[in-house]
Structure 1
Amino acid sequence: MKIHEKYIEALKTIDNFVSVSEWAIKVGEIYPDLLEKANIEAQKQKNDTTGVREIAARISSQVPKYELDGVIEVDKTERPKKVKYITKEEFEENTKEDLEEDLEPLNRRDIEKHSEDKMALKELYRLDEFRNIQKAFKTFFNLDFELDHAKALLNKQDAGEHHPDNFQFILKYHNVKKSNNNWERFSIDEQISYIKKCVELQNLIADRMELSVDENILNSLLNRLKQIY
């Protein structure tokens, strides 16, 4: 068995995502001969290193190839990145899901454009005002609210409509968690409470961000939101 194959065999014994360092430690546990050889090579290095570090460096250099070959899944949302062994079937399923995610923005935009083409003037005004308020929160409070569809446009069981009655503001983090699930839309009171809580958090670090929280602007935006919600 080749060395890179032993690396993969070691990873197969771990069920969850692990860092490259943890992977290297597992390689040393299962293949002590590789660790011994790496320790000897490490002693010859001018820089301060160990056998485990040498193995980790070699694995790290192979991660892009392993990912391309479809034998590992890489979670890059954390630092350091984490990896997990996957089967051929899991790789094919992940590839299918990735394709669907890549096409989602196009599908969503097609739905939105089709709906906007049929909107009455009043609904177009509400849509435009939602977007203007969204931009204002970014400009004056550095808050990246996303204009979310409470009933998701791409929900496979019960798709929502692209219509102001289905809009709400939520932070990107919450929208990612929501994904294509359907949530009950905020009432106007809940929406205002949500926004105020977000502003409160910004207020805690306003000085560090050189941000001035203006209550008059906030109240003006909330009043505008009440008119179109």
Structure 2
Amino acid sequence: MIKRPTTTKGRMVCSIAEDKRQSKGVPRRGIQSEFRAPIGKKFVHKTIEKSSKSLPKSSEIQKKKTQYELWVDQVIDMGIRNIRREFIATIRTYTPSGTTIAWEADKNYDKNRFEDIKLLDRTRVILRNTPSNDDYYHASYVQISENINFICAQGPLPNTVEDFWCMVIQEDSKVIVQLCQWTEDGKTQCTEYFPQSDWEYKNYGAIRVKIIQKTSPISQLRKVYRTKLQAIYKDKTHEVNTKFSEYSMR
């Protein structure tokens, strides 16, 4: 029996200079702060009452929000500290129902980054036509709705980068969203799966990868960067955008 690695754990007074152009003997002219009515005219200050119909009530706004938006609001209100507490109290010990035969196989134990995160057989991504003829990578299909689907995968290990790219090409993935840094707290969280120098191919087993568009910030997302990559396997060329944050998402 092969001994598995130990469980990994857990894994933020305004001042304005005086007018130096002021001449001697010439009084300084200030800007009038209020409107003065002409002599002989009566100035009446009238307050315009806000109509109750001009602005939507908060209850009406809440009704228009989707379930996803309400969930996001709830998560933001909880904050990082309470989210971590909830995870420790209710989620860390959660075990999903279903078989995990592929995950438990001894031949696959060194392909799992974490010992305590199982992989269900019914939702796992099964690789096809890989150089090693192996079908295993720690990744699952996740369906949010009929039109929203994605794959949740562990960061590749040195011995699984080739399989990672086989999965990306096989599933025709257009975007890779990296939710961790390469290294955190002195520990490697994700093996680099694309070259750090521009315009040069790097081989990951049978897969050749290069940057075809330099890393650049995404204007709509704070501290999030994008790199466009090209991967070649056999006679297939695949392009994908990888996005990652300057900070860890965990």
Which one has a larger percent strand, Structure 1 or Structure 2?
2
Fold match by TM threshold 0.5 = no
Which one has a larger percent helix, Structure 1 or Structure 2?
1
The alignment's TM-score, normalised by the length of structure 2, stands at 0.22
Larger radius of gyration: 2
